[in-house]
Amino acid sequence: MTITRKILLALLGVWGLYVSSYAYARLAVFHTVEHYPDGKGGARQDYIAKRDQPAGAGWEYQVFLPAIKLEETLVNARHRLVRG
């Protein structure tokens, strides 16, 4: 096995561990907060926060920030597509 293949397998392992850890944290630590702006008919914005804390609080939020931002981007894109 070449060194390049070993590095690739190690990176895939780290990525898999990160994704599975985020999935667990998403179920146990984080929740989605729905924010409706003032006034009727405003756009809905979903964002992720630690339970009982504002978004951005806690080390878990910082560790999983790339995954959180990706999820928020996908949810916002879906809302834009649904609204047309």
Residue with tokens 């179920």: 27
What total number of domains does the chain contain? Answer: 1
45-71 pLDDT per residue, tens = 557 777 777 777 888 888 999 998 898
7-45 pLDDT per residue, tens = 999 999 999 999 999 999 888 888 776 655 565 545 555
Q: Is this model's pTM higher than 0.85 or not?
A: no
Provide the residue range defining the domain that includes 32. 3-83
